[in-house]
Structure 1
Amino acid sequence: MSGNNQIKTAALLGLLSGLLVLGGYWATGNAQGAMVGLVMAAMGSFGSWFYSDKAALAAYRAQPINREQAPELYDLVADLATKADLPMPKLCIVPTQTPNAFATGRDPEHAAVAVTQGIVQILNQEELAGVIAHELTHIKNRDTLTQAVAGTLGGAITFLGKMLTFGALYGPVSRDDRRGSNPIGVLLLVVLAPIAASIIQMAISRTREFSADRGAAEITQKPLALANALQKLESIGRQVPMNGNPAFEPVLIINPFSGGGLQSLFRTHPPTQERVQQLQAIAQQQQNV
């Protein structure tokens, strides 16, 4: 993971935490509210760190499997994990024909890679290896934890906005200790803060996807196999959408329903064509070495 991406991700997480602290301040009208926001940020981050793997796996009804149940798939993951210098993650199958995959877990020692039944059937061995290497890179870079923390902070910001709405209806205490709502605070927390939080979350997700694609290319040395896989996943995914909690869409390797225009601000993933172009450039660089 490049230094620029690390700085960008840290800055975006800092913005989310700042929004939460600011939200607590506006919700109560005093410094105690800011402390509430800070405590919520800390508690949310810890909860995400500890329970991130369980939450994502439960959201997609992923079932753990062992080598006896799927020896070829298990051995493929084990081989790629060795190349990535990672411990063998828990391997899970998601019972759906939608081709997709994701990784989760608070650290490499408590990580899981989940693939759908559909992706195992649709992709060839090299393409599947590229997808799994992409997910292993997420684990190595601890992107799984980053996304979990970002999602929790974003949810807390939205919750604070709802608290402020309720308080405004019943006359909250403003900063000068008089009854009455602050219209600017209401606007920021109820409308703008959740939108800003969502945009920041999506920016974090897009940054991490490009890094994971590069990591997969380094592990497998076959970037075009992953490029082919992404194109297949987008095409088929539009026909067979994956059901699950939308809050966990950023963990998937691809979301074929990300729109353009203003909707691009809320993309959970970069455009597939941009990812393919990056992988093609990497393949060209490998040929020139």
Structure 2
Amino acid sequence: MINQLKTAAMLAALSGLLIAISYWVIGGTSGLIIGIGLAAATNLLSWYQSDKIALAVYQAQPVSEREAPGLYRMVQRLSDRANIPMPKVYIVPSQGANAFATGRDPEHAAVAVTEGILNILPDDELEGVIAHELTHIINRDTLTQAVAATVAGAISFLAQMVSYSLWFGGGSRDNNRGGNPLGVLLTVMLAPLAATIIQLAISRTREFSADAGSARLTGNPRALARALQRLEASAKQIPLNANPAFEPLLIINSISGQFLSNLFSSHPATEARVAALLKLEQQLPTKAY
């Protein structure tokens, strides 16, 4: 419950930041109205198109049971166990080992795994990863993260456009009609950074919950712990490169060496996640399915 409240507050902060940027850059009531409209439009776009956007970013391809029988049946089995509709199954054509889920609700969801993760994980560890992604679907994290990615992307795009306008003479407008010059400067310098920090904080609050949900669904927390360690080692060698705004969707941080501290990490430290899973293992009875 606390994590859900924190997530809602951070999503509100992202939308508020987008509105504030429009107010400072454009100026006055017009800027405020445009900002509210832009925030509403990006959230609406995320609600209805989040699955398509994320899948397109990673060039994920749909697969049938005939094309990937083992994977398909694993997703089906775990979905039945979780009592949710089976999501669509996709494979990402990349040797980077990773996975993600997307969609606005369990009825409109998809699970995607890379070719790389299928090559390096044994079945029990892959099951832990799939269960993690299904937990994101159950908790509606897929929608939350997609909205955060889209709004953060809109903030960065707006700041970039402002930067271009300053370089090419856009900063000479009349201050009585345009935005506040100090607000314009702060937008270019700080808004994308603030949006990124908030977006990544949202992602980190959801990963521990998804790990715990996976452990309860499979009854095998240690398998997911091993998978996370294996995936982290693989990501350092073969990162899954795509739009950084969608990095938080992945099960493991795939852009090795890009972040300087936990503040700029899309995921909690793998060591902390493993420790939490091993602690949970002591509390859960081993289940045989």
TM-score by length of 1: 0.92
Percent of aligned pairs with the same residue? 57
| Residue type at the aligned position of 2:159 | G
- Give the match for residue 211 of structure 2: 213
- Give the match for residue 78 of structure 1: 76
Task: Compute the displacement of 1:234 (Å).
Answer: 0.6
Q: Give me the whole-angstrom Cα distance separating, in 2, the residues matched to 1:136 and 1:203.
A: 21
| Residue type at the aligned position of 2:37 | V
Q: Give me the whole-angstrom Cα distance separating, in 2, the residues matched to 1:75 and 1:13.
A: 35
Q: Give me the whole-angstrom Cα distance separating, in 1, the residues matched to 2:277 and 2:140.
A: 22
Alignment map for 1:12-161 (pairs within 5 Å): 12-161=10-159
Task: Compute the displacement of 1:260 (Å).
Answer: 9.0
- Give the match for residue 171 of structure 1: 172
Task: Compute the displacement of 1:164 (Å).
Answer: 3.9
Determine if the alignment matches structure 1 residue 8 to structure 2 residue 9: no
Q: Give me the whole-angstrom Cα distance separating, in 2, the residues matched to 1:164 and 1:131.
A: 41
Cα pair 1:29 1:173 within 8 Å, conserved: no
Q: Give me the whole-angstrom Cα distance separating, in 1, the residues matched to 2:177 and 2:134.
A: 54
CA RMSD of the aligned region, Å? 2.0
> 5+ residue gaps in structure 1?
none
Aligned in 2, Cα 1:243/1:157: closer, same or farther, shift over 3 Å?
A: closer
Alignment map for 1:238-249 (pairs within 5 Å): 238-249=236-247
Task: Compute the displacement of 1:257 (Å).
Answer: 3.8
Determine if the alignment matches structure 1 residue 236 to structure 2 residue 237: no
Cα pair 1:28 1:172 within 8 Å, conserved: no
Q: Give me the whole-angstrom Cα distance separating, in 2, the residues matched to 1:66 and 1:102.
A: 18
Alignment map for 1:268-287 (pairs within 5 Å): 268-286=266-284
Q: Give me the whole-angstrom Cα distance separating, in 1, the residues matched to 2:140 and 2:259.
A: 30
Q: Give me the whole-angstrom Cα distance separating, in 1, the residues matched to 2:93 and 2:161.
A: 38
1:189-232 deviation per Cα after TM superposition (whole angstroms, max 9, x unaligned): 11112111110000001111111111111111111100000000
Aligned in 2, Cα 1:116/1:160: closer, same or farther, shift over 3 Å?
A: closer
**SS of match in other structure, 1:270:** coil
Candidates 182, 185, 200, aligned match of 1:184: 182
Task: Compute the displacement of 1:173 (Å).
Answer: 4.2
Task: Compute the displacement of 1:246 (Å).
Answer: 2.2
**SS of match in other structure, 2:172:** coil
TM-score by length of 2: 0.92
Task: Compute the displacement of 1:244 (Å).
Answer: 2.3
Cα pair 2:259 2:265 within 8 Å, conserved: no
Cα pair 1:24 1:33 within 8 Å, conserved: yes
Q: Give me the whole-angstrom Cα distance separating, in 2, the residues matched to 1:184 and 1:286.
A: 55
Task: Compute the displacement of 1:121 (Å).
Answer: 2.1
Aligned in 2, Cα 1:242/1:159: closer, same or farther, shift over 3 Å?
A: closer
Q: Give me the whole-angstrom Cα distance separating, in 2, the residues matched to 1:170 and 1:93.
A: 46
Cα pair 2:240 2:255 within 8 Å, conserved: no
Cα pair 1:100 1:116 within 8 Å, conserved: yes
Decide which moves more: 202-211 or 251-260. 251-260
Paired residues, what number?
Answer: 283
**SS of match in other structure, 1:268:** coil
Task: Compute the displacement of 1:276 (Å).
Answer: 0.5
Aligned in 2, Cα 1:243/1:162: closer, same or farther, shift over 3 Å?
A: closer
Cα pair 1:56 1:248 within 8 Å, conserved: yes
Q: Give me the whole-angstrom Cα distance separating, in 2, the residues matched to 1:83 and 1:178.
A: 60
1:41-67 deviation per Cα after TM superposition (whole angstroms, max 9, x unaligned): 100011111111111112222111111
